[in-house]
Structure 1
Amino acid sequence: MTATTLLTGQTLTFNARPGLTSPEGAAIYDSAGGVLIKGGRIVATGSTAKLRAAHPDAEEIAYGDALILPGFVDAHAHYPQTAMIASWGKRLIDWLNSYTFPEEMRFGDPAYASEIAGRYLDLLLAHGTTTVCSFCTVHPQSVDAFFEAAQARGMRVLGGKTCMDRNAPEGLTDSPQQAYDESRALLDRWHGVDRLGYVITPRFSPTSTPEQLSALGALWSENPDCLMQTHLSEQTDEIAWVKRLFPQARDYLDTYEMYGLLGENGLYGHSIHLEPRERDRLAEVGAALVHCPTSNTFIGSGLFDMAGLVAEGQRIGLATDTGGGSDFSMLRTMCAAYEVAQLRGQPLHPAFLLWLATAGSAEALRQGEHIGALAPGMEADICVLDLSSTPAIAQRSRRANDIWEAVFPTIMMGDDRAIRDAWIGGNLVFPKGAR
């Protein structure tokens, strides 16, 4: 008989998107709540007293004043950039040439790819992130290493071979046919296996010829249930470069749309400097925009228009963008999202930030039926936050008048010390010494 586990403490989840400046009834909070887990799934939620009474044989893990949340979901990352995160002083194109491409060349070695994939996923778990969508490298073995490491940890992850056939070093390029063939083989091998999903992955328009974009568009049309991820309108000099490379295109988004790479299962990282037509088309098709605030400030890209895009009904996820982003932590990413929005005069409520990092990103990745909420039937991927993890945070949270004042200091000042536990599929996987 499958064991039943009851996690008790403060619980918080969402049944709708909160407003930018208030929870507006979207949050489900219980100061003495519980989450009942069996067979890797959440089977019940509610008050601790009622769950204890109804399930007296359940093993209880009592977290006291800690906050039980859905595991964090990182909607855009580059796991091969793990070892060169926080590299100094470059804007996007120079940064790619100086740091990213030389590091990605190393992933032709399966042993190195396996080492970094395992290190990366362990870093995510240490920061309470239980699902990620990642770019791999041009090397198929980098995809195999990523999915094998996720399988070993029982994680729900998504990723794909990064395709480039120009404006990149020779060792990191493929051809249009090779991009199609290798992506198709990887898709057939991994998509839908265990908790894994394959993502069709052109890096961005400047590093793919029209022929390669067309080949990947064809692959997507043949596999419309797959996600497609790329980059869009990250920096102004990048946009100018795209215009020179695609003089016939109406705008940056059109370089994808012309070749069948615009759709509801599309993920468009950054999306900072969007034209009105681009915003209209993205909303019309229901694509997802992924906000990468630590990356956008670290590389000097610009300020994401959260309030304007939400008002338009855009689907939005949140991401670290490792290693352009300067931290593996979704707490740090929420903090940066708050600061970016403040610079635009758009203060974001803690409820909205937590929704972005859980249910919002899960929905952006089309995984909302599996993860991102504490609700019966959902997979039991859970993060437990210590709301007094450092003296500075503890002294501020003691003054809190409600859960939002209690959790906001952790959003703004928290790091991996705030992660009390992480659960994957009902199994405690972090911290060290997990049972």
Structure 2
Amino acid sequence: MSAPLHAYRTALLYSLDDPARVGVDSSYRYLPDGLLLVEAGRIRAIDSAANLLPQLPAGTPLQHWSDTLIVPGFVDTHIHYPQTGIVGAGGEQLLDWLARHTYPAELRFADRDYAEQVARFFVAELLRNGTTSALVFPTVHPESVDAFFTVAAELDLRMLCGKVLMDRNAPPALCDTAQRGYEQSQALIERWHGRGRLGYAVTPRFAGSCSDAQLAIAGRLLREYPGVHLHTHLAENRKEVAWVRSLFPARSSYLDVYAHHDLVGPRSVFAHAIHLGDRDCRQLAASGAAVAFCPTSNLFLGSGLFDLGRAERLGLKVGIGSDIGAGTSFSLLQTLNEAYKVEQLQGRTLDPFKALYLATLGGARALGLDDRIGSLAPGHEADFVVLDWQATPLLQFRLQQAQSLAERLAVLLTLGDDRVVRETFVAGQSRHRRDAN
């Protein structure tokens, strides 16, 4: 029997392309009274309700919301699930923060049961905030990867994750060896990559925690398993950059450390990338690699301001990342609120349609998954979020003054948080409902 057709009626909005490339007016599609048809976990059709309603087969279930907006599910391009318990742990910048807060928290993830407990809470938070796909850091422990993928598989989530590779400059209990890292990663790839909607990411923590042998192993895994991703950190903090330079004196830059080991390519995602020269940015763009812009963590740790304008000029792929737990909110709406302020501090304005793009289609492109997620176009997987324009008294009052869709969207991105997410759908199934008992 064929899967049943379901219809959802409300306002619909999704990105068609990057506003920086095609202009704002050509970058999105908006249907003020739209109809979304979902079948077998995919979007079958989208159009105005007036056009599609007469074509609906008799008996098709129809859900009709008022004062709501459906957008694609949000895509978080950089987040650490083991750091959920240290959100808001302040007082230091990056390297000291890792030593004082992160590494002690990650030691607990050798316990498979504990890792799964955190993974379940973490995934529930993602869905409560409308995030349906993410590129996720676990820990060095294979148990942490198994726990996360087990939870994601139960909910049929489109997720990427992979064991952290780290063999120096960290507590001994969090360090592996290059060979053990290779063997454990290989086993995890063969167990999880391509299972359902799951994908594997080879994950050296960052150059400072990896020897040349460890980075060489990461490159070997990418060659042996060409469908996997590469996920790591790059040039987040000035002190970190100087430290990496001292660790790899033969390399011309931080990025060159990775490039030397064939880690820079179209399936590579580098978190932060704040303190880079133009040459390295051009190399990233030419390789097809992507950057995760993480405004809340960049501000919380005092790391710096990502230059989105330069990334646009050079054609560099960029997605948005919450970077929990240096990041301070699971909500990509709140993360985009901070991205707007980062742009203002550099004399630019973040257009609301660009913000929407970063959190949906832009994130999907950064992950090389834009043929599957990040859009409401027919054929895409039916990951979408129902947003409530009336979620809070302030939002309701403020939107009475709004004169355009752009202003309404900008207000939503400024005042919105998890309360705005009325319902989250994953592969056509409701996985979070705000008002459920």
Normalised to the residue count of structure 2, the TM-score between the two structures is 0.97
Match of 2:83 in 1: 81
Is 1:33 the counterpart of 2:41? The answer is no
Q: Partner residue of 2:255?
A: 253
8 Å contact kept, 1:87–1:99: yes
Q: Secondary structure at the match of 1:24?
A: helix
Other structure's SS at 2:410 match: helix
How far the C-alpha of 1:362 sits from its partner, in A, is: 0.6
Mapping 1:149-168, distance limit 5 Å: 149-168=151-170
Aligned to 1:11: 12
> For residues 211 and 64 of structure 2, what CA distance do their matches in structure 1 show?
55
| Partner of residue 324 from structure 2, selected from 322, 325, 345 | 322
Shift of 1:22: 6.0
Once the two structures are superposed, what CA deviation does each residue of 1:87-135 show, in whole Å capped at 9, x if it has no partner? Answer: 1211000110111000100000000000000100000000000011101
Letter in 2 for 1:155: L
How many aligned residue pairs are there?
435
- Partner in structure 2 of residue 425 of structure 1: 427
Deviation string, structure 1 residues 298-357 (Cα, Å, up to 9, x no partner): 100100100111111001111100111011110011111111011111101100000100
> Counterpart of 1:67 in 2: which secondary structure?
strand
How far is the alpha carbon of 1:20 from its aligned partner? 8.6
Unaligned runs of 5+ in 1: none
Counterpart Cα distance in 1 of 2:49 and 2:426: 21
Is the Cα contact below 8 Å between 2:73 and 2:424 reproduced in 1?
yes
Instruction: Tell me the residue number matched to 1:170.
Output: 172
* Per-residue deviation, 1:398: 1.3
Distance in 2 (CA, whole Å) between partners of 1:433 and 1:309 is 40
Partner in structure 2 of residue 360 of structure 1: 362
Q: Deviations over 1:247-287 (max 9, x none)?
A: 11100001111112111111110000111221121111111
Contact (CA 8 Å) 1:20, 1:349: kept in 2 or not?
no
Alignment check: 8 A CA contact 1:107 1:141 kept: yes
SS in 2 for 1:243: helix
- The equivalent residue for 2:282 is 280
CA deviation after TM superposition for structure 1 residue 295, in Å: 0.5
Residue of structure 2 in register with 1:294 after alignment:
296
Equivalences for 1:53-92 in 2 at 5 Å? 53-55=54-56, 56-92=58-94
Shift of residue 401, structure 1, vs aligned partner: 1.7
- Please say if 1:43 is aligned against 2:56: no
Query: Could you give the per-residue CA deviations for residues 208-262 of structure 1, whole angstroms, max 9, x where no partner exists?
Result: 0011111111111112221101000001000000011111110000111111211
SS at match of 2:252: coil
Alignment partner, residue 103 of structure 2: 101
**Does the aligned pair in 2 maintain the 1:292–1:320 contact within 8 Å?**
yes
Q: CA deviation at 1:423?
A: 0.3
Secondary structure of the structure 1 residue equivalent to 2:67: strand
**CA contact 1:21–1:352 (8 Å) conserved in 2:** no
Query: How far, CA to CA, are the matches of 1:398 and 1:405 in structure 2?
Result: 11
1:121 to 116, 120, 123: 123
Give the alignment's Cα RMSD to 1 decimal.
1.4
Instruction: Using the TM superposition, give the Cα deviation of residue 389 of structure 1 relative to its aligned residue in structure 2, in angstroms.
Output: 1.3
Deviation at 1:32, TM superposition (A): 0.4
SS, match of residue 19 in structure 1: helix
Secondary structure, in 3 states, of the residue corresponding to 1:253?
helix
Distance 1:19 1:386 in 2: 28
- Aligned-partner SS, 1:380: coil
Report whether the alignment pairs 1:350 with 2:352: yes
Residue type of the alignment partner of 2:33: A
Amino acid at match of 1:406: R
2:140 is aligned to 138
Q: CA deviation at 1:175?
A: 0.1
Q: Is the 8 A contact 1:21 1:348 kept in 2?
A: no
One-letter code aligned to 1:51: L
Moved over 6 A (4+): none
Counterpart AA for 1:225: G
Inter-partner Cα distance in structure 2 for 1:57 and 1:368: 32
Give the drift of 1:432. 5.5
**1:415 aligns to what?**
417
3-state SS of paired residue (1:2): coil
Give the residue type in structure 1 aligned to 2:343. A
Give the Å deviation of 1:195.
0.4
- How much has 1:433 moved relative to structure 2? 6.8
Identify the residue that residue 237 of structure 2 maps to in structure 1.
235
CA-CA distance at 1:18 after TM superposition? 1.4
> In 2, are the aligned partners of 1:20 and 1:348 still within 8 Å (CA)?
no
Q: CA deviation at 1:400?
A: 1.6
- In 1, Cα distance between the equivalents of 2:399 and 2:271? 34
Write the distance in 2 (CA, Å) between the matches of 1:276 and 1:380: 38
SS class of match (2:360): helix
User: 1-side partners of 2:192 and 2:66: how far apart?
Assistant: 40
CA contact (8 A) 1:295 1:320 kept: yes
Which of these residues, 373, 388, 399, is aligned with residue 397 of structure 1? 399
Cα displacement (A) at 1:390: 1.1
